[in-house]
Amino acid sequence: MNKVILALGWLALAVSGNALALETLPIQGSDVATSWDSLYNFLVYLSIFFFILVMGAVVYFAVKYKAKPGVKARYITDHHLLEGIWTFVPFVLLMVIFVWGYVVYEKMVRTPSDAYEIRVVGKQWLWQFQYDDGRTTINEVFVPTHRPVKFVMTSTDVLHSMFIPNFRVKQDVVPGMYSSVWFEANLPGKHQIFCTEYCGAAHSQMLAQVIALDEVEWKEWSRGKKILTESIPKAGTRLSDASGSLRTTDQTQMSAAAPTLSLVEQGRAHFKGKGCVACHSVDGQAKGNLGPTLKGVFGNPVALTAGGSATRDENYIRESIENPMAKVVKGYNPVMPTFKGQLSENDLGALIAYIKSLQ
């Protein structure tokens, strides 16, 4: 009898544990969060159902078939119907989970092509954000609501990971390459960012905020106004009548050092300053046979000397600059010097933005 009470105790504990799991999710700050939660809740309810079913059967059979003196247990071999059911039902359920999971995953990883891009650099121990207009911010990133936003991310030192619980998105940030994550914030206000890859002593303090701005505020920010972030509440707690313009200052001062050049202009300056212009044209004309033109290359495939082709995305351009021998463009000699170590992550981000703009 004691064992039965113990089993029932475990049962109650497990069920309440699961019920708690349903209550502890952060608020839903993006559309993906809603789909993600539905799947998560389905999994929890399914687990509760089967937990009760299996544990209930264990307890029931333990009592019903308790060994009695003088009674020999009957030996049962197979039961096709039963076996068929317990194979088919889990198969169908797992397929439902697989397809559903795939659909949500697809939504999370397929970045809309019109997404607003922000470059992110993770370093021990802060997050830096770089915008098209040349501004940078530290540990706060300003994004519009109801518009897809894409982070193109890299690290200057070790592995970090961008995790925004309210949006249910997470992506590793890796030194030497770019990874990306996208979301569409649907709730204005502050959303917490965590670094979720252990990255050294102050890892737990590598925190930042997504500051999702409503339409009015986003316009102000885009015009170069400073947003008074202290007065912006956590997402979900915002008063409906709060007007964005109240939270911007009248001076055109920036949240970070005021940039004189946009990102593309900064990239153009590096392109000149580092001597890329000696070998690469940007107008589609061939520069002798020194190097290929960089006009209209971004996003398009290129044939390689070693055979095959490569897509000229952020990572390809980066590799071309840091390790030019890795993929040599067909028809050219491998004469490009490496620029590894000569460009900061911000410079690289600007150069890539510039090459991207040469369409």
* Angstrom distances, CA of residue 45 to CA of 1, 89, 94, 337: 29, 16, 14, 59
Binding pattern to Cu ion, positions 143-182, x when CB under 5 A?
-----------------x----------------------
Q: Which does 104 bind (CB under 5 to 8 A by kind): Cu ion, ligand HEC, none?
A: none
Interface with Cu ion by CB under 5 A: which range of 54-62, 100-108, 195-203, 296-304? 195-203
For ligand HEC, the closer of residues 232 and 351 by Cβ is 351
Choosing from 40, 116, 194, 332, the residue that interacts with ligand HEC (CB under 6 A) is 332
Sheet holding 136-138, edge to edge: 136-138, 126-130, 116-123, 149-155, 179-183
CA distance 329 to 332: 6
For Cu ion, the closer of residues 146 and 203 by Cβ is 203
Specify the DSSP class assigned to residue 246.
Answer: G
CA distance 103 to 352: 32
Helix, strand and coil content of the chain, in percent to the nearest 5, comes to 40, 20, 40
Residues in binding contact with ligand HEC, number by CB under 6 A: 26
SS3 55: helix
Element at 171 (helix H, strand E): strand 169-173
Q: Which does 59 bind (CB under 5 to 8 A by kind): Cu ion, ligand HEC, none?
A: none
Choosing from 120, 181, 199, 276, the residue that interacts with Cu ion (CB under 5 A) is 199
The tokens 């915008």 sit on which residue? 131
Q: Which does 243 bind (CB under 5 to 8 A by kind): ligand HEC, Cu ion, none?
A: none
CA pseudo-torsion sign 219, 222, 223, 226? positive
CA angle at 135 for the pair 188 and 214, rounded to the nearest 5° = 15
Q: Does 339 bind ligand HEC (CB under 6 A)?
A: yes
Choosing from 149, 199, 351, 353, the residue that interacts with ligand HEC (CB under 6 A) is 351
For 322, the token pair is 């840091």
For ligand HEC, the closer of residues 20 and 335 by Cβ is 335
For ligand HEC, the closer of residues 227 and 297 by Cβ is 297
Q: Which does 160 bind (CB under 5 to 8 A by kind): ligand HEC, Cu ion, none?
A: Cu ion
Q: Does 299 bind ligand HEC (CB under 6 A)?
A: no
SS3 325: coil
The tokens 């039902």 sit on which residue? 89
CA distance 191 to 237: 11
Choosing from 152, 206, 227, 294, the residue that interacts with Cu ion (CB under 5 A) is 206
User: Are the CB atoms for 165 and 155 separated by under 8 Å?
Assistant: no
For ligand HEC, the closer of residues 186 and 346 by Cβ is 346
Choosing from 220, 280, 346, 356, the residue that interacts with ligand HEC (CB under 6 A) is 280
Residue type, 313: D
For Cu ion, the closer of residues 160 and 247 by Cβ is 160
Choosing from 108, 120, 317, 350, the residue that interacts with ligand HEC (CB under 6 A) is 317
Chain residues that interact with ligand HEC, rule: CB under 6 A: 274-276, 278-280, 290-292, 294, 297, 302, 312, 317, 320-321, 324, 328-329, 332-336, 339, 351
Chain residues that interact with Cu ion, rule: CB under 5 A: 160, 195, 199, 206
